[in-house]
A and B are shown apart, each in its own frame.
Chain A
Amino acid sequence: MTKDESVLIIGGGIAGFQAALDLAAAGVQVHMVEKSPSIGGRMAQLDKTFPTNDCSICILAPKMIETYGHKNINVRTYAEVQKVSGSIGDFQVEILQKARFVYEDKCTGCGACMEKCPKKVSSEYEMGLADRRAIYFPFAQAVPRVATIDKDACIHFKTGKCLLCVKECQAGAIDHKMEDEVITVNVGAIIVATGFDVYLPYEMEEYGYGRYENVVTAMEFERIINAAGPTHGHMQRLSEDKGRPKRLAFIQCVGARDVRHDRPYCSAVCCMHSTKEAMLAREHHSDTDSWIFYTDMRAFGKGFWEYIERGERDYGINYIRGKPGEIIEDPETKDLILYYTDRETREVRALEVEMVILATALIPRADAPEVAQILGIEMDEYNFFKAPNVMMSTDTTREGVYMAGYCQKPMDIPDAVAQGSATAARAMEAMAQNPKGGTSQKEVTA
């Protein structure tokens, strides 16, 4: 292996970081392409991680900084891969660098622009529970800490006026005339680590998501209990009263393990994250009671079952086998009534709670088919990327293209990290055996 070999990593989440850092440590040049304005991925949105209840961003942020700052890693945020040609050892990759209308090298990350920006839009990072401005950092710990202008929202692009941000920026970093660029890089291997989306169960009318304000997804609840979240860590209902919910119900397998919605697979993390969220709720306020309605308790990992037991014993979580049939909202109080069967007496019972958290299916990203097409790799019937066989679980169906994390199949953070390392090894192996590729490091700007 020569020093100037390089690898492309698509997706700046925890799986991608691990792969990038492993490769970089071995002296391989890495090009990381991240679609959104900041690296971090889903893990950056989580409050804590199971089964240790570590602060998620606290263990992630050092990885983000390390990745961004590593001399062997070239991180491109707000960029997308748009074309791949060549073969193992010698891929030519066209990267679309979207214009963020802010010069990365000039922006100091002071945030003055976004204080003045008059245009508010719903924040993707906060799962729509808070607003951001048209010029924004996706979240406080964003890396790089460079502002980005959302062209679709920015007033200037609609009216030609405003430019308040430009007036405010003392670094002179904002340029509304910036244009998209296409960059071509030459790499020996590609690692795809694009992660997942959260299923929003609007179509499952029986649970009232979208209709009842106090029915939220687990990812939304993750933001609600997060100290940096939209409620500043105050556990609050979304209804007008903004009351503190004292009784929480968690419903598992919403839209997952569900053939009616074409998702018979298990999302693999929900039994654990619901338990975690119920624990955190009790830690926020000791008078919080939680009920977790599960299909089967799938606590299969190391220390997982002990975690469930701890939830029951130390946090008073009520685990109830069985799914509620439906939820009805009390229109006056905005409380929610769940109907479920008591397995002992076989009676249908009604449980009144103040908030319901749905452990909805985690699904392949909406643009997975597009990515698969660009990379020339196959997907399975659910749009997860496909491995050629069980013995090559981090390989895709194209030689020299590897995958890590949730884009392949449901898995938790440690597994995604392990796959990150595995793909780094596979990529180095590929380049060692196909040395002709990856010789050119030079970027060509089109």
Chain B
Amino acid sequence: MTTFEPEIVALCCNWCSYAGADLAGVSRIQYPPNVRILRVMCSGRVEVGHIIRALEMGADGVLVTGCHPGDCHYISGNEQAEKAIAATKEILTVLGMEDRLSLEWISAAEGQRFGQVMTDFVERIRALGPNPMKEAKVSRGNPGDVPGRLEDLVDRTGVMYCLECGKCEATCPITRMEIAYSPMLIVEEALRDLPEELEADKGLWNCITCGLCSHRCPSGVDFLEFVRQAREVETSSCDRCAHGGVFHALAGIMANEAVSQPGRLDWVEDGMEVAEKGELLYFTGCLPYFEPVLWDVDVHPAGALGSTVRVMNHAGIVPVVMADERCCGHDLVWSGQSGTAFAELARLNVEAIKATGARRVVFTCPEGLRTFAKDYPRVLGEDAIDFELLHITQLFAELIEEGRLELPEGTDEAVPLTIQDPCRLGRHMGIVDAPRKVLDSLPGYELREMEHHGLNAHCCGTSSWLNCGTFSKRIQVERMTQAEDAGADLLVTACPKCFSHFNCTLNEPGSDDTPPKPAVEIVDISVLLSKTLGLEGGGDR
């Protein structure tokens, strides 16, 4: 005997199924009262993020309904919906929640069918049982207990030492495009203790936290830390989140211990050797989720996972990969949404890692590395991380140095390439040599540095899945043009996010008057190394 009454969110197209619901109503067709209908103008409007956020908020099931194929009022909206729902199902498969989502076609004339679909879906969800998120004990959002007052923040981040020299403004890639934004002005607002102004200043959210201003500030103002904390002081919302806030919602979901991820290791292919316990652990980060979220921009960064493991196996390393690994929480930290979720993510990840006995943890994503190194100790205590943290390029550089990778002979013709230093790896963590050591040792390639490189590098245009807009696109085009100007055919990335952002811009359809895109190919460093070692099977380079 169960008392479980499912809560269903139905996202119904205005032109067909929403009218179908009306027809069901006037026809007095009975269906269970568990469904909350939200009208959308087209099923094609439904984003991955809407569904994931509904599930994060505790919906037991999400039903999307649209016009029958060929009937769309916007010609192809329902075809878009089909793709989006398929991608969302991929994400939900990782989380073991794929049965909680359904897409149905219901026309305005099908009142009867509307009732039937609703009844069937409610019963299906009833049989599944409640969404584990119903019992969620932690949530993302404004943490509340961090400094509520700006003076504290001013003290802690050294912004009171600002000399107003303006070097940050003249450095900031955003200020260069948007004069309303200035790191210095934000600091001034905080110094003058004007919390309302600071809150109203959209600039606080425009910052891409690349850290170039902090790196150059003669007064040593920790602007990065200032922005991070100021965002936590201010009202948090996911208004600025890109991709419908799906990554932030996924973080919110994973922060709950009750949520498992049965499909997290589906990327592991036959022939790859991985372990559950061992010395070295490979922290994959959000990579298993990336491609379905980015389905609409045709970006494929997940190849880095397999390539990394193949290179490790080649060197005789069998890495630990964890089915219960969770989001590192980076995007919550930088969007002012740490809430109670971030500390919980930190705790769950560190406990899971300790249970594997790993002494070294390797990251593909520099954001994860930074979060473990600098943000976890903040919430877990300074001694919480007693294992070594490494970026994948550091491990590769070490393996190359020790002669554990058999690099083939070089060819006469060297392909020119350049490297994008990720902000989190370079300025946040101070690691700039490792990727260069790897690239320098690759036969058949020649490293050509861009004007801005190393600690002076320019950002890929966006971070933390926030604020992706025209500025980001312009920064990305500019950065890729710099790579082109350096004479590089390949722009190598050491961060899956840089990889995705650049490719997204390259893939964007332009109009006739769009200037030609920079002629560079974006390639992940792990994939490049794996290809060079001949591990990718059929790789042309």
Question: Which residues on A are within 8 Å of B, measured CB to CB?
Answer: 205-206, 253, 257-261, 295-296, 321-326, 328, 339-341, 343, 345-348
Contact = CB atoms under 8 A, between A and B. Distances in A.
A260 B218 CA distance: 6
B175 A348 contact: yes
Main secondary structure of the interface of B (DSSP, over half): loop
B170 A257 contact: no
A326 B458 CA distance: 12
Contacts of B455: 205
A337 to B, nearest CB: 11
Contact of A259 (B161, B165, B166): B161
B119 interface: no
Interface in B96-155: none
Given A345-B179, A346-B179, A325 B171 contact: yes
A339 B176 contact: yes
B163 A206 contact: no
B168 interface: yes
List 8 tightest A-B contacts by C-beta distance, closest first. A325-B170, A325-B171, A322-B166, A258-B218, A259-B220, A323-B167, A341-B169, A205-B456
Contacts, number: 70
Nearest to A340: B170
12 contacts: A259-B218, A295-B163, A295-B165, A323-B167, A324-B170, A325-B171, A325-B216, A339-B170, A340-B170, A341-B170, A346-B182, A348-B176
B23 interface: no
A253 B167 CA distance: 11
Contacts of A324: 167, 170
A258 to B, nearest CB: 4
Given A205-B454, A206-B171, A328-B451, A323 B166 contact: yes
A325 B216 CA distance: 8
Contacts of B176: 339, 348
A348 B165 contact: no
B220 A260 contact: yes
Interface of B: 161, 163, 165-172, 175-176, 179, 182, 216-220, 451, 454-456
Contacts of A341: 166, 169-170, 175, 182
Counting chain A CB atoms within 10 Å of each CB, the highest count among B175, B216, B219 belongs to B216
Contact of A323 (B161, B170, B220, B454): B170
A253 B166 contact: no
B171 A326 contact: yes
A283 B167 CA distance: 30
Given A339-B170, A346-B179, 9 more contacts: A206-B171, A206-B216, A323-B166, A323-B218, A324-B170, A325-B170, A340-B170, A341-B170, A348-B176
Given A205-B456, A339-B176, A257 B163 contact: yes
A367 B170 CA distance: 36
Nearest to A206: B216
B236 to A, nearest CB: 28
Contacts of B456: 205-206
A253 B172 CA distance: 20
Given A205-B456, A253-B165, A259 B175 contact: no
Contacts of A347: 179
Contact of A348 (B179, B216, B217, B220): B179
A328 B451 CA distance: 8
A323 B166 CA distance: 6
Contacts of A322: 165-167, 169-170
A326 B170 contact: yes
Contacts of B216: 206, 260, 325-326
Contacts of A328: 451
A206 B219 CA distance: 16
B218 A348 contact: no
Centre residue among B166, B179, B182 by max chain A CB count within 10 A: B166
B44 to A, nearest CB: 39
Given A205-B455, A259-B218, A348-B175, A325 B168 contact: yes
B133 to A, nearest CB: 45
B6 to A, nearest CB: 54
A262 to B, nearest CB: 10
B217 A260 contact: yes
B166 A340 contact: yes
Contacts of B454: 205
| Most B Cβ at <10 Å: residue of A205, A253, A343 | A205
Contacts of A296: 163
Greatest chain B CB density within 10 A among A257, A326, A341 is at A341
Contacts of A321: 166
B76 to A, nearest CB: 42
Contact of B170 (A261, A345, A348): A348
Contacts of B218: 253, 257-261, 295, 323
B144 to A, nearest CB: 33
Contacts of B451: 328
Contacts of B169: 322, 325, 341, 346, 348
B170 A259 contact: no
Contacts of B171: 206, 325-326, 339
A187 B179 CA distance: 65
A257 B163 CA distance: 9
